[in-house]
Amino acid sequence: MNGLFWNIRGIANDPSITCLIKLCKLYKLGVVAVSEPMIGDDRLSQISKRLNMTGFMVNISSKIVLFWNSLFSVQLIKDCDQILSVKVTTTTNESFALSVVYAKCDRMERMSLWDIIWNLASRISKPWLLARDFNVITCKEEKVGERNPNVSTMDDFVDLINVIGLVDLGFSGSRFTWCNNREELDCVWAHLDRVLVFWNAHQAIKEAEDRVQQAELNHLKMNSAARFMELREERKKLHEVHK
């Protein structure tokens, strides 16, 4: 699956929507999440059709919009002003959790977001992907141009990542994802956007083993080529999980 997360700052203007349509076609995007769409909810249906998507969901603050195509079905887990969390299921009945983040600038408001993520972590057992704008750095090296980054805000976020067991997928390209667009000495660059994942390996292995067991029973009940292929495919998936 290919997905895109973009702080688009206005999805309805011609340059943005034209670029988004091209990206959807070029990379065969199945899921697209945009923040700051700056468009009325009544126009999102039209945008969804132009992107060749079959569904969309907008969060309670209208700051996050999620689009998806016919290869996926989406079910809401939790909707808040800084995060939209859903369960995404494929046509092969595989599923994962997805949280699209658009964090506030204020530390105390972000603390409420961290609490929400912590509570979600206690409920989610499936593979979980969180992206994109957390609006905070994890170390001083992720910010250039500001003499004394707030250590407490960094610690809040790092503690959340470590305690839950989230893994940063890293990045390619520019190290910095945000700039204040000021000149010379007043210019600040920072790495505020990232993709984090959580994967409960024990749960994934158990589910894969259960599917193999069911496939074995199906094969015993009906010894056919189709059942054999099903069993072989489930054993292959179990092998991949164990890797």
**Residue 243 in this model has a pLDDT that exceeds 70:** no
**% of residues, the chain, pLDDT over 70:** 96
CB-based contact 100:83 (threshold 8 Å): yes
Span 3-198 CATH architecture? 4-Layer Sandwich (3.60)
As a whole number, the mean pLDDT across the chain is: 91
Tokens standing for 111?
A: 């603390």
**Residue 201 in this model has a pLDDT that exceeds 60:** no
Tokens standing for 101?
A: 């983040």
Read off the pLDDT of each residue in 202-218 and give the average, rounded to a whole number: 79
What is the pLDDT at residue 199?
Answer: 78
Buried b (16+ CB within 10 A) or exposed e, 204-243: beebbeebbeebeebbeeeeeeebeebbeebeebbeeeee
Sign of CA dihedral 231, 234, 240, 243: negative
What residues contact residue 117 under an 8 Å CB cut-off, 6+ apart? 83, 99, 130, 160, 164
| Full-model pTM | 0.82
Res. 203 pLDDT band, cuts 50 70 90: low
Q: What are phi and psi of 20, to 5 degrees?
A: -65, -40
One-letter identity of residue 159: D
What is the pLDDT at residue 126?
Answer: 86
What is the pLDDT at residue 25?
Answer: 96
Read off the pLDDT of each residue in 191-203 and give the average, rounded to a whole number: 83
Can you give the residue ranges of every domain in the chain? 3-198, 203-242
| Out of 18-22, 128-132, 148-152, 160-164, least confident range | 148-152
**Residue 39 in this model has a pLDDT that exceeds 80:** yes
Res. 101 pLDDT band, cuts 50 70 90: very high
**Residue 1 in this model has a pLDDT that exceeds 90:** no
3-17, 61-75, 135-149, 182-196, range with greatest mean pLDDT: 61-75
